[in-house]
Structure 1
Amino acid sequence: MILLSACGNAEAPTDDSINSTSESTASSMESSTTTGSDDVSSTSKNFDGKTFSVTYEQAVADFQEAYPNAVISSVDFDKDFGKYTFEISGFDDMQEIEWEVNAENGVETKNNIEKKDPDFDDQELAVDNLMTINELIAKSEEEAPNAVLLSWNLEADEDTNIPLFTGEFEEGNNEVDVHLNAETGEFLSVEND
């Protein structure tokens, strides 16, 4: 109030404007805590315009907590039976793990553990060295500017062990896959179907 009266002709704010600002700030804070720091819905056109209660970081942390001796080989974010999910595949010396969580409500929807096959050849995905999901989504959108992102995948390349991000887009009746280096964001290729 002192600052406003020192400004000369400025009117003091009314109780309504103070309440409106407080409500707006509270709503903004609530929204940011609900969607997390790396919300996978970078724009409203992607993923049916939904926001999610589980972030990529939370899903990875939950997997690592449940399986502390396992490494992650891939992370998929897509629609499964009408609900968006994170599916994380991993392995340790003895077993292969497929774990899935509903990104919309946080409910675990799959937890399959199998004895490791002797021919198992998945690569470890170094999840700590990757760009953020929002950065990768934004870079992939640059390569498919008129398309809608439906899902994405992270995995290590079988030959080079480079971590790959694949954004799976829809443009009209066409599917467009954009491949990026998930550490650097470098554009690698586009596939059109």
Structure 2
Amino acid sequence: MNKKMMVVGTLCLGFALAGCTNTDKSLEANKESKMSTKVSQSTKQDVSGTSNSTTKKTSQRKVSVEDAIKAYNEAYPNTSITSLDLDPSFGIYYYEIKGVDDSKEYEVKINAETGELKKEREETLDQDEQNGVEKKNEALELKGILSIEDVSKIAEDSVGEGTANEWSLERDLALTYWEVKVQTGNKEMTVKINAQTGDVLEKELDD
């Protein structure tokens, strides 16, 4: 009897240990499964956040340079544009466009997402800038200018890394050029590009 009871006891003990082992393995499997689910959800959130950020930046520049110039010309016909800037003010992209006629200087601000135009300033030119002098010296050559997308790629390729985030269309002597700011980590590079040909004229690391 004693031997039979010992055998039965041993078998029971074995089943009990096996049950504990299976339970431990089941708990570990559930734990790993939950961890995997958390990682998967975290990854989805990160990807979603990146996508939303990119979409937001793109959506803030729905209005093209051509559209902005057209809007300015409709507001102030018979004038010449002397400068054009596109940069984020308070997190929103605006075109700031200045122009002149024979006696006055004008400035407008255009929301790059909605196209809403606001007249900012209108003032009389200095005496020595009137009668077409300022227009002759400062008017931009807008025929055949490259788009913001084109000059952004040229600037980024020239720097080798980073993202273009500010653009200015300016004139030096008789040359109209794009000035593009490229952000690379904590540094910012300014690249000047011929507005018609796309040739890189100058690169400078901002302080």
TM over 0.5: yes
Distance, in Å, in 2 between the alignment partners of 1:192 and 1:76 is 20
Distance, in Å, in 2 between the alignment partners of 1:150 and 1:53 is 15
Give the equivalent residue in structure 1 for 2:103. 94
Structure 1 residue 169 corresponds to structure 2 residue 182? yes
Distance, in Å, in 1 between the alignment partners of 2:56 and 2:176 is 23
Taking structure 1 as reference, are residues 119 and 137 closer, same or farther at Cα in structure 2, changes over 3 Å only?
farther
Displacement of 1:85 after TM fit? 0.5
Distance, in Å, in 2 between the alignment partners of 1:94 and 1:46 is 43
Give the equivalent residue in structure 2 for 1:59. 68
Give the equivalent residue in structure 2 for 1:77. 86
Q: Which amino acid aligns with 2:194?
A: N
Taking structure 1 as reference, are residues 124 and 169 closer, same or farther at Cα in structure 2, changes over 3 Å only?
same
Contact 2:82 2:100 in 1 (8 A): yes
Contact 2:148 2:167 in 1 (8 A): no
Q: Which of 192, 195, 201 is the matching residue for 1:182? A: 195
Structure 1 residue 112 corresponds to structure 2 residue 121? yes
Structure 1 residue 135 corresponds to structure 2 residue 135? no
Q: Which amino acid aligns with 2:153?
A: A
Matched-pair identity in %: 33
Provide the TM-score with structure 2 as the length reference: 0.65
Taking structure 1 as reference, are residues 126 and 47 closer, same or farther at Cα in structure 2, changes over 3 Å only?
farther
Contact 2:65 2:147 in 1 (8 A): no
Q: Which amino acid aligns with 2:65?
A: Y
Distance, in Å, in 2 between the alignment partners of 1:61 and 1:49 is 21
Q: Which of 144, 152, 156 is the matching residue for 2:171? A: 156
Displacement of 1:77 after TM fit? 0.6
Choose 98-107 or 112-121, whichever is displaced more. Answer: 112-121
Contact 1:47 1:151 in 2 (8 A): no
Distance, in Å, in 2 between the alignment partners of 1:81 and 1:113 is 24
Q: Which amino acid aligns with 1:81?
A: F
Contact 1:100 1:109 in 2 (8 A): yes
Taking structure 1 as reference, are residues 131 and 48 closer, same or farther at Cα in structure 2, changes over 3 Å only?
closer
Q: Deviations over 1:129-169 (max 9, x none)?
A: 32233222221121123112111010111xx3201111111
Taking structure 1 as reference, are residues 47 and 77 closer, same or farther at Cα in structure 2, changes over 3 Å only?
farther
Distance, in Å, in 2 between the alignment partners of 1:146 and 1:45 is 17
Matched residue SS, 2:153: helix
Taking structure 1 as reference, are residues 129 and 49 closer, same or farther at Cα in structure 2, changes over 3 Å only?
closer
**Unmatched segments (≥5 aa) in structure 1:** 1-43
Distance, in Å, in 1 between the alignment partners of 2:63 and 2:116 is 9
Contact 1:86 1:100 in 2 (8 A): yes
Q: Which has the larger radius of gyration?
A: 2
Q: Which amino acid aligns with 1:79?
A: P
Aligned length: 148
